């Protein structure tokens, strides 16, 4: 999934900083629903990563696969260390 495509799909814009609180909340709600329904591991991870970057990711227990949980942990570490 392309980052800009995700932003347009869930928020209608690539300018995430320009969103008001209600538009951000609505987009995150749609992302949570799609995350729960998604069966492709790569797409699920992309959704989770964007939700994490926006401060609203599900717990790591949402990943049933141990390798996916470990990948999410590594992403969290990288994102947190990046600033």
Q: What is the pLDDT of residues 53-67, one digit of tens each?
A: 999 999 999 999 999
- pLDDT tens string 10-24: 999 988 888 899 999
| Domain extent at residue 17 | 3-82
* Mean pLDDT over each residue of the chain, to the nearest integer: 93
At 4, the pLDDT band (50, 70, 90 cuts) reads: confident
Task: Specify the pTM.
Answer: 0.90
**Total domains in the fold of the chain:** 1
For residue 1, pLDDT beyond 70 = no
Task: Give the Cβ contact number of residue 32 at 10 Å.
Answer: 16
Q: Is the Cα dihedral 22, 28, 31, 37 positive or negative?
A: negative
Tokens read off for 36: 């729960």
> What is the pLDDT confidence band of residue 3, given thresholds at 50, 70 and 90?
confident
């Amino acid at each position: 999934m392309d980052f800009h495509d995700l932003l347009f799909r869930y928020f209608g814009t690539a300018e995430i900083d320009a969103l008001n609180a209600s538009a951000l909340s609505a987009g995150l709600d749609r992302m949570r629903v799609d995350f729960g329904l998604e069966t492709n591991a790569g797409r699920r991870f992309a959704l989770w990563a964007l939700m994490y970057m926006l401060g609203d990711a599900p717990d790591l227990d949402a990943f049933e696969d141990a390798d996916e949980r470990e990948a999410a942990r590594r992403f969290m570490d990288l994102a947190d260390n990046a600033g």
